Every structure is written in C-alpha cells, then in structure tokens.
Amino acid sequence: MEKIVRIVGGGLAGAEAAYQLARRGECVELYEMRPHRMTEAHATGNLGELVCSNSLRSSLITAPAGVLKEEMRRLDSLVIRVAEDNRVPAGSALAVDRESFARGLTQAVEALPKVRIHREEVKDIPSGIVILATGPLTSPALSQQLVSLLGSQHLYFYDAISPIVSAESINLNVAFRAARYEKGDDDYLNLPLTRDEYYRFIDALLTAERVPTHGFERFVPFEGCMPIEEIADRGKETLAFGPMRAVGLIDLRSGQRPYAVVQLRQENQEKTLYNLVGFQTKMTYAAQRRVFAMIPGLENAEFVRLGSLHRNTFINSPQHLCPTLQWRQRSNLFFAGQMTGVEGYIESAATGLVAGVNAARLIAEEPPVVPPPTTALGALLRYITDPERKSFQPMNVNFGLLPPLSEPLRKKAKKEMMAQRALADMEAWVRNTEGGEVFVPLDADPNVPSAVAR
Ligand SMILES: Cc1cc2nc3c(=O)[nH]c(=O)nc-3n(C[C@H](O)[C@H](O)[C@H](O)COP(=O)(O)OP(=O)(O)OC[C@H]3O[C@@H](n4cnc5c(N)ncnc54)[C@H](O)[C@@H]3O)c2cc1C
C-alpha cells in the first residue's frame, strides 16, 4: 500500500515539505486550519502567508541569510523559487509582494501531484509518518497535545531572546573572566561599568524606542524573562540589583568590585559566540545597536542576533530532536519550521525542506540525511539539536554557528571564505546525496534512530 505523509500546518515549512515529498513521488495529506480557524496574526487562507515583514533578508552571498537562500536554491526550494518570482525592489534584500507570494505558493502546492489539502484544524497528533509544522501560533488544542507528548517543561509559548555577539568583536582589554563568587570555572566574560557608565546606559535604555506589543502578545512574563527596559522602568537601580549585579565579582586587574557588570555567556562549543545574559528586550533593532554599543567592551561589537520577546510556540529541540528533524522517540514523527526553535521565514522553510526530504527517505528505506556542518543549513540544524545545549532559545542563521576556518581570517575576508566553503560543501553534498550516496554518515550519530518506524 502506498505510504502517506501527513503534514500539519501549511505555512512556509509545511508548503516546502509538501513540495519536497511530491517531487520525490510521495503522497501527501496537508492539513491547514485557515481560513476556518484563523491565528491571531494571519489574515488570509493562503499557504505560506507572511505575517509581518515582507523581507526574506539579504541576498548577498557574503551574508548568512544570503548563503542559506543560495543553499536552498541548490536544493530546489519551492519557497525560494516562488519568492524570486514575486520579488519587489529592496536593494540587496529579497523582498516579496506578500499577497502574490502567498497566492503563488498556494497555487504551486495545490497543483502538486498526489498532494491533497485539507482545510481543518488537527487537534491530535496523527499516526503514521507525520511532519508537524504548525508554527509560532500553533492552535491551543494541538499545543496541549504537545505538552502531553513532551512534558510541559519542553514546550514554550514565548521566546525571550538575548542578543548574541561574535567573540572576536568583544574588547578583551575591558572584559575579565570570572564566575560569581568563584563558583565554577571562569565561565563568564564580564564587562564592568563604573557608576557613571551605568547611569548613562540606563538613561539611554529608558528613552530608547520600543517595539509595540500586539494585543495577543500581552502577557505577564516571568521575572526571569522581563525585557531589560521594563526592569529599568521600575527604578534606575533595579538592573544593578538584577541581571547587572556585580556582587561576587572582582575585576582582578583593579582589585575592585565594579558598580555593575554585563555578563557574557559562551553560546557554542567553538567559543565564537557569546550571549548577553538576561538582556532580552523589546527595543527596536536600531535602538539595541546604539544602546548596547554604550557598554564598555562592546563599542565595536558585531551582533549576530539581536534581542526580542515574542509569542512563539517552540519545542526544546536539543532534548527532543535529531539533526534529521525526527523526534528521538518516534522516528516517523518530524518537526519543522519555527516550532523547532529556528527563527525566521527562510530558516523555517529550510527545516521544512529537510523534513520533507527525510520523510521521503524514510518511505524509501534510505537513511536520513543532514547537510554538512560547514553549510549554513547543516550548522543551524546542529545548533538547534545539540543535546549539550542547556538553555535553549530560538536561533536565526549566522556565521557564528559555522565551524571556524583553518586560517585565521577576519571580517569581510572571513565571511567570504565561510560562504565559499558552505556553498562548495553543499554542492558536493547534493551531488553525493542525489547520487544515492549519503554524504554524512548519520548512522554514526547516536541520536539518530536507525530503525525505520512503520
Ligand atoms: C506576529 C509575528 C510576526 C513575525 N514576524 C516575522 C518577520 O518579520 N520576519 C520573519 O522572518 N519571521 C517572523 N515571524 C516568525 C514567522 O512566523 C516564521 O518565521 C514563519 O512564518 C514560520 O513558518 P512556519 O511554517 O513554521 O509557521 P507558519 O508560517 O506560522 O505556518 C504554520 C501554519 O500552521 C497552521 N496551524 C497552526 N495550528 C494548526 C493546527 N492545529 N492544525 C492545522 N493547521 C494549524 C497555521 O494556520 C499556519 O498556517 C513572526 C511571527 C509572528 C507570530
């Protein structure tokens, strides 16, 4: 009997997954609850509706989002093709006419052979081969099912994203390594502030422009994930007693305890990225760049991710998913899109592509695949599914996720070389994978289920 793949959610990830399955000759039942049941942000019944910006970010091949898009193009991504057909002028970015893009994507999926679209809400996780791609605004009934499946501590309804800077852009003449009360190794990089520096920073923070909160996003955050500017609203000293407290920290160079500190925590094993601990924020991106550059040591910082706080449904992928996007406890259940903890339109579509390819390989009894870690897509998948990651927050594609180069290049030359390496490795991987050979020997990965669940 012909096997069917059930895809839940017809957003960017679900539409891309359907296409990848259809082009491999597989049968798909795609479930999308709109227009019968709308989310708080969508306005139409179209598949792949963009709920906010109409930009799919940079097209430059030296920018991480540009590299990811180029990789997806080489993997024959439907989302990228439809986006290019509907592009509007936006300098070096790939921006689209949002209505014709979503209409075009809907028509393309409707025309796929062996793909049936059901306009209904899925409340229970189906049996058989399934791709769950219900996005940041997953319906409450299905969210409840996910809580039962994964445990309430493994499904999140909001993200609280702190900015991340590249290690090489931190001024190490200012930063000092220490853990509070010398507990643990010198795990943190600390950026000390004098009283004057602290007050100048707070004044800038209080007057910085903030992103308005949508009605459906109003919520009472836990104390541990309040935006820093809202903590500062409570009083100018509050941050100095909260995330910026210097208690237990001595700057050995001065022998003094600073008035306040910003702590930076290592974000990846390669030590190329550091996050600003407790600095989730709803300041606009422009305001963040300006205000955070006032922190001593971050004057020339390169922000690979800026802070945010959103309504967002995502799972604790490092604890639950393989890099192939299979749930570790049921190899025929795939997750895709923003709910895997990737952040952004193209990242979501890219995970849909991988889930679609691997669901097709499961049917064909071929081992699942993951692009190499030197590619933007491979690096992103490994980041979100690294079981060593303890505190997980969604991530967008950036060069800090890729393994360091063998030669120590800097800035533009480094980005160009990383982009070249990514595309060359993707090219080789596509050749080998399409030729029937698995480029990455996933059987060697202990987290990848070897048995094909039926
Ligand atoms: C308010 C808001 C603004 C955003 N702004 C941006 C931005 O500017 N730029 C950016 O890159 N990203 C933005 N994002 C993130 C963006 O939503 C994702 O990047 C992208 O849309 C995720 O793709 P997806 O396929 O995972 O989810 P979606 O595109 O949301 O698709 C999921 C689909 O599943 C459907 N669905 C949900 N539950 C069920 C169910 N139980 N049964 C059947 N169908 C269901 C939904 O109707 C939806 O169509 C924003 C998110 C939100 C919430």
CATH number at residue 232: 2.40.30
Residues 215 and 178 both lie in one domain:
yes
User: CA 51, 57, 61 angle in degrees (round to 5)?
Assistant: 155
Mean residue pLDDT of the chain comes to 90
Residues 179 and 279 both lie in one domain:
yes
Instruction: Report whether 306 contacts 288 (CB < 8 A).
Output: yes
297 found inside a domain: yes
Query: Do the bridges between strand 155-161 and strand 129-132 make them parallel or antiparallel, or are there none, so unpaired?
Result: unpaired
Q: Give per-residue pLDDT as tens, 96-154.
A: 999 999 999 999 999 999 999 999 999 999 999 999 999 999 999 999 999 999 998 89
The band of 223, judged by pLDDT with boundaries at 50, 70 and 90, is low
First CA to last CA across the chain, in angstroms? Answer: 12
**Of the candidate ranges 158-162, 170-174, 302-306, 369-373, the one whose mean pLDDT is the lowest:** 158-162
Residues 168 and 98 both lie in one domain:
no
Cα 220 to ligand 1 centre (Å): 22
In ligand 1, the atom with minimum distance to the C-alpha of 53 is 8
256 found inside a domain: yes
Residues 200 and 318 both lie in one domain:
no
In ligand 1, the atom with minimum distance to the C-alpha of 122 is 42
The band of 52, judged by pLDDT with boundaries at 50, 70 and 90, is confident
Cα 312 to ligand 1 centre (Å): 9
Tokens describing residue 303: 């922000």
Q: Which of 273, 288, 306 is the last residue of a domain?
A: 306
Cα 49 to ligand 1 centre (Å): 8
Instruction: Report whether 332 contacts 125 (CB < 8 A).
Output: no
Residues 328 and 405 both lie in one domain:
yes
Query: Which of 6, 20, 31, 32 has most ligand 1 atoms within 8 Å of its beta carbon, as the pocket-test mutant?
Result: 32
- Which own/partner contact pairs does 268-273 have at CB distance under 8 Å and 24+ positions apart? 268/383, 268/400, 268/401, 269/386, 269/388, 270/403, 270/404, 271/167, 272/166, 272/167, 272/168, 272/400, 272/404, 273/164, 273/165, 273/166, 273/167, 273/304, 273/398, 273/400, 273/401
Cα 347 to ligand 1 centre (Å): 12
449 found inside a domain: no
Instruction: Report whether 332 contacts 453 (CB < 8 A).
Output: yes
Please name the residue whose Cα sits nearest to atom 31 of ligand 1: 11
Indicate if the pLDDT at residue 185 is higher than 80.
no
Q: Which of 286, 306, 326 is the last residue of a domain?
A: 306
pLDDT of residue 397: 97
User: What is the arithmetic mean of pLDDT over 435-453?
Assistant: 41
Cα 39 to ligand 1 centre (Å): 9
Q: Give per-residue pLDDT as tens, 264-275.
A: 999 888 888 999
The band of 450, judged by pLDDT with boundaries at 50, 70 and 90, is very low
Tokens describing residue 134: 């219900």
Indicate if the pLDDT at residue 451 is higher than 80.
no
Number of domains in the chain: 2
Residue 176's domain comprises 164-306
Report residues whose beta carbon is within 6 angstroms of any ligand 1 atom. Answer: 8-14, 31-34, 39, 41-42, 51-53, 121-122, 133-139, 142, 311, 337-338, 344-345, 348
**Of the candidate ranges 63-72, 247-256, 390-399, 416-425, the one whose mean pLDDT is the lowest:** 247-256
pLDDT of residue 226: 86
Cα 179 to ligand 1 centre (Å): 39
Residues 235 and 183 both lie in one domain:
yes
**What CATH number does residue 399 fall under?**
3.50.50.60
Q: Which of 241, 273, 306 is the last residue of a domain?
A: 306
pLDDT of residue 160: 87
pLDDT of residue 440: 41
Query: Which of 78, 134, 144, 384 has most ligand 1 atoms within 8 Å of its beta carbon, as the pocket-test mutant?
Result: 134
Residues 79 and 177 both lie in one domain:
no
Q: Give per-residue pLDDT as tens, 281-314.
A: 999 999 999 999 999 999 999 999 999 988 899 9
User: CA 329, 354, 76 angle in degrees (round to 5)?
Assistant: 165
